[in-house]
Chains A and B, each alone.
Chain A
Amino acid sequence: MNSITSKDEKVFSAINVILLAVFGFICAYPIYYIVMGSFSEPMEMMKHVGEFLAKPYGFSLAAYKTVAENRMIPQGYLNTLLYLTVGLIVNMTFTSLGAYALSKKTMALRNPIMLMVSFTMFFSGGMIPTYLVVQELGMIDNWTAMVFPTAINTFNLIIMRTSFQELPEELFESMRIDGGNEWQIFFHIAIPLSPAVLAVIALYYGVYHWNSWMPAMLYMRTRENYPLQLVLREILINNDLSSMGGNASDGDQEYISATLKYATIIVATVPIMCVYPFLQKYFMKGVMVGAIKG
């Protein structure tokens, strides 16, 4: 009897491990394929078209060289960094100040303002009226359009407010008795005591700016202002390789483009993949906070 159960156990465990391996393989292999493809010799790659890749066909950094020589990608990187940095500063300032003030129960207008804020989670004017407002404010083709229309994410604001609410009021009171004003309390108590939530929210905003391309497509006209993701869209989705420099003859273009695209993908994804392992626990904390308090 006992041996049968343990045999059952073993079969169960084995099936489980295999199923998970399949899950993992499906998630990982496409990414692996792109990485290996990006290092392949373009011509070798062409010969083996329609086959699985276990390792690069040949080894070549040609694709990366082309990417590096491209004008648009570094420009896109710079723009994304600019929008991300300025955006993050505005996001965090607006959100933390607002969240802190809204965590105070003494304000008479707290509930009306909270209602005004929450209502936007359920109803919005829509894409076109928002576009018209941005246009009316003269923000088209300007970095401000990448920063201010998304200055506060209501969801993030509510998470942060809840976190500020949980700080013990006695701490603030003692600082008040010592003669500290509200700004000092905010900067010297509320902010230093909330590192986790600040990190999670900053991360959320950061990832948003890194991935965002719709607002840029709507509001940016000049290609020199495009963030990285919009440049990627031109190259990868619209197949517009014109910005890729013309050092390949027309016939080679099509085949080179596969490795070139893979290299572009890698160059654009590596930064976030590099920070991901270090920040994974914050990301997951964020998911939990959002799920419980949303």
Chain B
Amino acid sequence: MLKAVSGNAVQTTSKKNIAQRIKKDLRKNKTYYIMLLPLILFYLIFHYYPMYGAQIAFKDFSVGKGIIGSPWVGLKHFESFFNSIYFTRLLGNTLVINLMDIVFGFPLPIILAILLNEVRCSAYRRTIQTVTYLPHFISTVVLCSMVKEFTTRTGLINVVITMFGGEPILFLQQPEWYQPMFVASGIWSECGWSSIIYMAALSAIDTEQYEAARIDGANRLQQMWNITLPALLPTIVIMLIIRCGKIMNVGAEKTLLLYNPATYKTADVIASYVYRKGILDADYSFSTAVGLFNSVINFIMLLSVNKISNKLTGSGLF
């Protein structure tokens, strides 16, 4: 009893203390808090209010009733998404596109960086660097329109294919060819740019190592294998972990620009489906549920990726 009373007393004094401390802190750091005001408002309005609004995934939202007034329906929307053909289709497409990109798109910047590193003539190296960075500066809309132009029957890509004796392929009309084109165009635009990070890692290698290897009689290929690649390995591991963290994520932008009803079967991903259902069909609750499912998966992916990185490299990504 006595203990409880004294405990209470401690609590009230500490409460007072906290109030006082906050007051003191606010007074002392007034300017900082004023500087933070736009930031706090921004995050509350455009990040946390939408998070609060995401509860409509568990409701039957109608604009008239508002977020609060709409009735709860539990997991109805999630269930109908999990039971629809879209669930496996969207996840499958997302996985296939990302796996293709990891298998083909991930090693290329590394190869490019290693090749560039071997060039003795610095003018040539700089020219190639500048040229390979160029596609990065083409906007998504323009990139996709180039893909569209180049994959027509007489477009540039089909000119190349027919030159080698193949039949023209309408990449954006045939479901089986959509994904390779989606991935390839991404590689084209980002390959050079992604090599920068590896170039930086390579510039940190001590040239004496090459010197020593040469004296030991190692040829350029052996030097590449025994010095350059090991030096790159930590960067490669980190980049691969980060890349794998995004394996359940394909952005809406390129998909919305490149797909059409003929290729929905292989092109549709969660983000584009959410856009169609939510914005075009105004099925707010259902599309929010689909989006929320994706957010949760990505959240879990990021946490596990961080854990893996912690184990492998001793330092987390965040």
- A residues near B, CB below 8 A? 5, 8-9, 12-13, 16-17, 19-21, 23-24, 26-28, 30-31, 33-34, 49-52, 93-94, 97-98, 100-102, 104, 106-109, 113, 116-118, 120-133, 137, 148-149, 151-152, 157, 181-183, 186, 210-211, 213-214, 218, 229-230, 232-233, 236-237, 258, 261-262, 265, 268-269, 272-273, 276-277, 280, 284, 287-288, 291, 294
Contacts and interface: CB of A to CB of B under 8 A. Distances in A.
A31 B134 contact: yes
19 contacts: A20-B128, A98-B36, A101-B32, A107-B33, A108-B25, A126-B54, A127-B275, A128-B279, A128-B284, A129-B56, A133-B49, A213-B140, A214-B256, A236-B142, A237-B144, A237-B145, A272-B137, A276-B134, A291-B200
Contacts of A100: 35
B264 interface: no
Interface in B95-154: 112, 115-116, 118-120, 124, 127-128, 130-135, 137-142, 144-146, 148-150, 154
Q: 4 tightest CB-CB pairs across the interface, nearest first? A: A125-B50, A126-B291, A98-B39, A236-B145
Interface residues of B, number: 90
A109 B303 CA distance: 25
B139 A211 contact: yes
Nearest to B277: A128
B141 A233 contact: yes
A231 to B, nearest CB: 9
A108 B22 contact: yes
Contacts, number: 253
Given A19-B115, A23-B115, A51-B159, A12 B220 contact: yes
Interface string B188-230: 1001110011001000000000000000000111000000000
B16 interface: no
Given A20-B128, A124-B51, A107 B115 contact: no
A152 B42 contact: yes
B137 A125 contact: no
Nearest to B28: A106
A262 B148 CA distance: 12
Most buried by B among A20, A186, A233: A20
Interface of B: 21-22, 25, 28-29, 31-33, 35-36, 38-40, 42-43, 45-54, 56, 112, 115-116, 118-120, 124, 127-128, 130-135, 137-142, 144-146, 148-150, 154, 156, 158-159, 162, 188, 191-193, 196-197, 200, 219-221, 252-253, 256-257, 271, 274-275, 278-279, 284, 287-288, 291-292, 294-295, 298-299, 302-303, 317-318
A123 B299 contact: yes
Contact of A236 (B22, B36, B50, B148): B148
Nearest to A11: B220
B227 to A, nearest CB: 15
B159 A52 contact: yes
B25 A109 contact: yes
Contacts of A116: 43, 48
